[in-house]
Amino acid sequence: MSSRREFLAATLAATGAALAPRLAPAAPKAMTVVRESSFIKAFDDYFAKTLLPEYEKLTGIKMSYEAVSVGGMLTRLTTIVETKSGPEIAMTAVNWPNLFDASLVDLTDVATEIGKKIGPWHDNIHDAVVVNKKWKALPWGNIGQLEAYRTDWFKEVGVTKFPETWEDLLAAGRLLKKKGHPFGFELGHGFGDNHGWLYPLLWSYGGREVDKDGKTILLDSDETAKAVDFCRRFYKETMLEDVLGWTDVNNNKAYLGEQISCTNNASSILVVAKRDFPDIAKVTDHGLNPQGPKGRFHILNPVSHAIVSSAPDVAAAKAFLRWLYDDKQMSRWLTSGEAYYAPFLTAYDNHPMWNPEPRYLPYKESLKTSRLHGWPGPPSPAMSESVAKYVLVDMFAKACRGDSTKDVIATAAAQLKQIYKAK
Amino acid sequence: MSVRPATLARPAPVAGRPFTLRRLLEREGFFSWLMLSPGVLFLLAFVAYPFFYGIFLSLQDRRVASTGVFVGLANFVTLAHDAVFWQVTRNTFFYVVVTTVFKLVGGLGMALVMNQSFRGRNLTRAFLLLPFIVPTALSTVAWMWILDPTFSVVNWLLVHAGVISSGYSFLGNATLAMWSLVVVNTWRGMPFYGITLLAGLQTISPELYEAAAIDGATTTQRFLYVTLPVIKPVLIIVTMFSVIFTFGDFQLIYALTHGGPANATHVFSTWAFDIGMSAGQLGMGAAVALAILPALAVLIVALTLYLRRE
């Protein structure tokens, strides 16, 4: 026979259980994650066909995946934010958390937890996702932009190791162009492969767009002029004219079509070559961006995940991100990506994902010297405007087509003054 | 004293007759508005609302995900001081004027040929419509290959015919890039002119040509004094539509050049998209898109007045 206390406890428990569904907040029936398709099908498939069904089974929440074509994610995020409807969890890139600050949920608590467990986070990612001391997105990984090159053709001209400096690369390119193997570095209006080498080139010669204050335009300098002069020679002596009109697909196509011997790109060229062009894959390797007189730089191209503030159940969305960024899930998903994404968590610096293919290791190494586009300026909306208007890309492109160094710098500096509202 | 036509006369209400839906539908005023309402609602929702919202945005400093601040005409003043804006304006007008002339001349020629009797005429007409039918994004991909310096069939033919030693950079050279876009737009838009003008040509009575021939008119004179005057209203309408469509052309340019090299092919629509969506400057993007309005308004008003006078 049960005691009075036991009876009371059992009664309370039964009452609580009966009331619980009514008192506790109802779990959402469904959630959607929107991401830009990567060039790595296995990575996208692992998320959509393995991870999301796992979470669905675990929680009973119907998880949907919306894939956006490459280059279209910014537009999609804009529509989600402006219409306050659509997926709850969205991929962000570069400095978007700064652009969409007001419409993204504060994820500081989640980021801190993850940082404690498998961090700390790399320092340079803070610029991209921390806005006014609040984490507005959880960094996933960096899509590095390095040099993909043909080892066999480089050997033919006596270059057995990827050149360390821009001048050495120019010298190699000159020889390769004479042999019918020109370089192909994008100088047109694409979204990544142009900025991927032109900002690092400018920085490596000491040039800067804007100062840390985001107000003082620094572009008009001797250092910028040296970078522009080098770029003109580099283009004329090593490349095809067509690079001036290239967008991001062109260099991949030209490389895999064996039309060029070197280009600046993410690791997708090697990934695709291994799958579809094994002979080309065998003679492809990666090199860090060469050094200039003022150092070596790379573009910071981070992919992150954010929760939009219009999400009906922020707690549920956070719970999903906590689960996704748990080592058990994160580790598997990163591995499926063939090192396409270099994670920003120091515990992953020696992750097994780097072991199967040593040719991806430079992408990990490049993280240390990677900066956001407008560096050292703040990651502001003005930075996005400068990138969207191709100010730097067009400065170099105009010089390559024959305009004077002085003119192209003056035009670009005037544009930057307008964009940054500088005096 | 004017007499109202019997068909428009409203039946006098009959006292005591019950109100029915049928009687309501028989009232012309009600029925005509009922028939018009789907179209009017559609225009209000998808044309008037975005248009007026665009004007509203253009008068604001409005960044994505933030509240706008009214700035009057400041966005337009900023644009007026931007060298790229004037380059975009020149590009847009060049693109619209040159493609319109090409499409007009080519389309008229196409219509005149299609108006003749020959074997396989219907099949030829169907094939000529293909560029217009195929989705722009799809045909643009084909043109990307055609204009690729390495894989271009044009370059291959020219190199193998010994005309040139190495392929042209159709999209890398600023001048060639713009002319390439003109060619692609003309290829895609010409059938619209062709088929519309063909419809106009088929309304011309053969008796008019017979009378002109009896009067001793030559082929050129028959074209100038019979064909052209009759199809002139159609010609003006089709040109007006085409100019409006071409001013707003986006997909083709965005997919082929994205406004490059160095802004050489940026037009209002592509530049507005970059500023509004990529830079998140919704107010400024709307201002760029609206900058096209005065030119279009003048054109439409002038052509409409001309048509009414005719």
Cα–Cα distance, A255 to A284 (Å, whole number): 10
Q: What percent of chain A clears pLDDT 70, i.e. is strictly above it?
A: 93
Closest CA to B106 of B183, B2, B159: B183
Q: Which domains does chain A have, with CATH numbers?
A: 28-143+301-360 (3.40.190.10), 146-298+369-419 (3.40.190.10)
Partner-chain contact A78 B277, CB within 8 Å: yes
Least confident of A161-170, A337-346, B77-86, B145-154: B145-154
CA end-to-end span of chain B, whole Å?
30
Assess whether pLDDT exceeds 80 at residue A220.
Answer: yes
Assess whether pLDDT exceeds 90 at residue B9.
Answer: no
Record the tokens describing residue A25, joined without a space. 């907040």
CA end-to-end span of chain A, whole Å?
87
CB pairs under 8 A between A and B: 117
Assess whether pLDDT exceeds 60 at residue A324.
Answer: yes
Record the tokens describing residue B36, joined without a space. 């018009």
In chain B, residues with a C-beta closer than 8 Å to the C-beta of A82 are: 64-65, 282
Partner-chain contact A245 B177, CB within 8 Å: yes
Record the tokens describing residue B99, joined without a space. 């493609």
Cα–Cα distance, A390 to A395 (Å, whole number): 8
- Smallest Cα distance from B154 to chain A, Å: 15
Q: What percent of chain B clears pLDDT 90, i.e. is strictly above it?
A: 57
Q: How far is CA B274 from CA B20, B89, B285, B288, in A?
A: 56, 15, 8, 10
Record the tokens describing residue A404, joined without a space. 């004077």
Partner-chain contact B173 A190, CB within 8 Å: no
Assess whether pLDDT exceeds 50 at residue A185.
Answer: yes
| Mean pLDDT confidence for A355-377 | 95
Partner-chain contact A240 B82, CB within 8 Å: no
Record the tokens describing residue A108, joined without a space. 């500081």
A232 interfacial to chain B (CB closer than 8 Å)? no
Partner-chain contact B279 A385, CB within 8 Å: yes
Tell me B302's DSSP state: H
Of B171, B278, B279, which has the smallest distance from its Cβ to A245's Cβ? B171
| Mean pLDDT confidence for A109-135 | 95
> pLDDT at position A1, please?
41
Partner-chain contact A394 B150, CB within 8 Å: no
CA dihedral A261, A266, A267, A273 (to 10 degrees): -50
Partner-chain contact A241 B263, CB within 8 Å: no
Other beta carbons less than 10 A from residue A89's beta carbon = 23
**Reported confidence tier of residue A55, pLDDT bands at 50, 70, 90:** very high
> pLDDT at position B121, please?
85
DSSP letters for A194-258 = THHHHHHHHHHTT--SB-TTSS-B--SSHHHHHHHHHHHHHHHHHB-GGGGG--HHHHHHHHHTT
Assess whether pLDDT exceeds 60 at residue B2.
Answer: no
Least confident of A74-88, A250-264, A302-316, B17-31: B17-31
Per-residue exposure over A208-231, b if at least 16 CB sit within 10 Å of its own CB, e if not: bbbeeebeebbbbbebbbbbbebb
Domain boundaries, chain B: 75-309
Fold for B75-309, please state it: MetI-like fold (1.10.3720)
Helix axes A391-401, A381-388, angle to 10 degrees: 30
Cα–Cα distance, B204 to A413 (Å, whole number): 61
Partner-chain contact A101 B65, CB within 8 Å: yes
In chain B, residues with a C-beta closer than 8 Å to the C-beta of A388 are: 274-275, 278-279
In chain A, residues with a C-beta closer than 8 Å to the C-beta of B257 are: 188-189, 245, 247
Cα–Cα distance, A262 to A157 (Å, whole number): 14
> pLDDT at position B292, please?
87
- Contact residues of B toward A, CB < 8 A: 63-66, 78, 81-84, 148-151, 169-174, 177, 257-263, 274-275, 277-282
pTM here is 0.86
Assess whether pLDDT exceeds 70 at residue A281.
Answer: yes
Q: How confident is the model over A70-100, as pLDDT tens digits?
A: 889 999 999 999 999 999 999 999 999 999 9
Record the tokens describing residue B105, joined without a space. 């001349």
Predicted-complex ipTM score: 0.84
Residue of A nearest to B279 (CA): A385
Record the tokens describing residue A292, joined without a space. 């200039």
Q: Counting beta carbons within 10 angstroms of the beta carbon of residue A39, is it exposed (0 to 12), middle (13 to 18) or buried (19 or more)?
A: middle
A422 interfacial to chain B (CB closer than 8 Å)? no
Record the tokens describing residue A280, joined without a space. 């080309």
Cα–Cα distance, A111 to A97 (Å, whole number): 14
Helix (H, G, I), strand (E, B) or coil at B201: helix
Question: In A245-347, where does DSSP find H-type helix?
Answer: 248-256, 268-276, 278-282, 314-324, 327-336
Of B84, B261, B282, which has the smallest distance from its Cβ to A389's Cβ? B84
Assess whether pLDDT exceeds 70 at residue A25.
Answer: no
In chain B, residues with a C-beta closer than 8 Å to the C-beta of A78 are: 64, 277, 280
Q: Name residue A305's beta-bridge partners.
A: A91, A138
Q: Highest mean pLDDT: which of A391-405, B22-36, B230-244?
A: A391-405
| Mean pLDDT confidence for A26-39 | 87
In chain B, residues with a C-beta closer than 8 Å to the C-beta of A101 are: 65
Cα–Cα distance, B139 to B131 (Å, whole number): 8
> pLDDT at position B231, please?
92
In chain B, residues with a C-beta closer than 8 Å to the C-beta of A242 are: 148-149, 169, 171-172
Q: How confident is the model over B108-144, as pLDDT tens digits?
A: 999 999 998 888 888 888 888 888 888 887 888 889 8
Q: How far is CA B101 from CA A145, A219, B89, B288, in A?
A: 44, 43, 18, 25
